[in-house]
Structure formats: C-alpha cells, structure tokens
Amino acid sequence: MFSPKLKSIIADKIQVILQETAHDELPDGEIQFILHVDGAEGWSWANIRNNGSVGGFVPVELDKNLTKK
C-alpha cells in the first residue's frame, strides 16, 4: 500500500513518538514495533516495522496473505 520510502518515513516518526514517551518498559535506543494499516479495500493493507527491525515475524492476525479465506 505504501512505498518503501513512505514506510521508512512513517516508521521514523513512530519511533520518535514511542521514544518521547520515556516509558520505563520500553528499551533504550531502537524500539521494535509493527504497525498494521488497513486500506480502503480488503486487499489494500500495509505492515510497517521499525527501520532497525530484527527478525521478520508477523503475527498471523496481521498477515492478510495468511488470513484470506
């Protein structure tokens, strides 16, 4: 749904928002996250990860390729 460049921009902004919370349960530095965005159509969606993501696990509930009927 989003271009790789736009996903990277979104991920950077989310990373900053999460870091600014200074929540005591979040790690110092890079915060691992995945954001699922549904588009206007059922086939339109995106999973956005932090730019320093380690690992490629996507919960099955967020992977629309796996949950199609």
What's the token pair of residue 37? 């965005």
What's the token pair of residue 19? 């870091």
Helix, strand, or coil here: 45?
A: strand
Instruction: Kindly report whether the global pTM for this prediction surpasses the value 0.85.
Output: no
Mind listing the pLDDT tens digit for each residue in 13-61?
Answer: 999 999 999 999 999 999 999 999 999 998 999 999 999 876 666 677 7
Domain count, the chain: 1
**Whole domain around residue 60: which residue ranges?**
4-67
Query: What is the structure's pLDDT at 64?
Result: 62
Strand pairing partners for 46?
Answer: 37
Query: What is the structure's pLDDT at 67?
Result: 52
Parallel/antiparallel/unpaired status of strands 34-38 and 45-49? antiparallel
